[in-house]
Amino acid sequence: MRLVFAGTPAAAVPTLRRLAADHEIAAVVTRPDAPLGRKRILTPSPVAQTADELGIPVIRAARLDEEATGRIAALRPDLGVIVAYGGLVREPLLGTPAHGWINLHFSLLPMWRGAAPVQRALIAGDAQLGATVFQLVQDLDAGDVHAARAFPVPADATADEALASLAEDGAELTAEAVAAIASGAARPVPQQGEPTHAAKLGLADGLLEWTEPADVVFARYRGVTSEPGAHTMIDGAPLKVRELARAHDAEPLRPGELRAVRAGVLVGTATDPLLLVRVQPAGKPAMAAADWFRGLRAPADAPVRLGPGDEPRTQGEAK
């Protein structure tokens, strides 16, 4: 098959590599280079870097407009494959390849249609994740399914970690779908079930509410790590939560109450405490939670506010 591949982040790289091993990739379409790091250096996307490594021509396009459509049409592809490109494919580009476009989506469609399926599934506490290869149509993530597979949620995995695992599994699933299309054996079927929507996450989605049960707080932390990132408030200032873990055999604490232990800083929830491992105060680098806690330099009985709307809590004595 002569393919055009559209993708941008690291999650799309395994599929690009897998398809390049079996098919001709006429071109890769990806988002333009973006400024990264503190120095804001223009950096190619992970897909662009991989394409350069594989010797595949790259089309950089912020959106799939008339110019991009013309460049893709000139390649006369048999099939388009898209994985997290970051833009919409509309007519006439939808019908440009002989077999249209297929999309690898990281959910069991029609669950979690939209931009953040893995993140929303983790926040919701879903028991399983999934990957679906479907025929791209005008409506959002609504096309017929070529292949789908469910996967157990990795224990305590963040969204980044879960997505990296799904990207590898999804690459093989996509390769199977492309092979079926190439052989004429593909028989896509309509999606079944009630759709749910996975809207893009914003900063507000990362706020941890310690008045909720520990499982709910931890699920949100997992779903928003690393983007947009988990955070809380202490004494009216933001505090980024870089690493949070389950606490084992910890004494109960009131919601928002802090207590230093050897492994970090316990923080109370509506049920069991959780363990702050790494945090990042405003304007400072990330650090061990224990170091941050010692730096507060407040007496053991001084009130400390953790989380908006909570009453001040006592720090508690370090053990």
* Full-model pTM: 0.90
Count of structural domains, the chain: 2
Confidence of residue 155 (pLDDT cuts 50, 70, 90): confident
In a domain, residue 319? The reply is no
Last residue of a domain, one of 154, 180, 198: 198
Domain final position from 198, 220, 246 = 198
How high is the pLDDT of residue 298? Answer: 58
Query: What CATH number should be reported for the domain holding residue 161?
Result: 3.40.50.170
Per-residue confidence band for 85, with pLDDT thresholds at 50, 70 and 90: very high
Kindly indicate the confidence band of residue 303, based on its pLDDT and cuts at 50, 70 and 90: very low
The reported pLDDT for the residue numbered 306 is 72
Cα gap 125→158, rounded to integer Å: 12
Residues 214 and 242 in one domain: yes
pLDDT band of residue 319 (cuts 50, 70, 90) is very low
Residue 189 has pLDDT above 50, yes or no: yes
Choose between 191 and 249: higher pLDDT. 191
Domain of 109? 2-198
**207 and 114 part of one domain:** no
pLDDT at residue 127 tops 50: yes
The pLDDT tens digits of the residues spanning 252-302 come to 999 999 999 999 999 999 999 999 999 999 989 999 999 999 888 655 555
Burial 153-182 (b: 16+ CB within 10 A, else e): beeebbbbebbbbbbebbbebbbebbebbb
Are 190 and 244 members of one domain? no
Given this model, what pLDDT does residue 237 score? 87
pLDDT at 67: 95
179 and 273 part of one domain? no
Residues 37 and 143 in one domain: yes
pLDDT by residue (tens digit) across 16-27?
A: 999 999 999 999
Question: What pLDDT is stored for residue 15 in this prediction?
Answer: 98
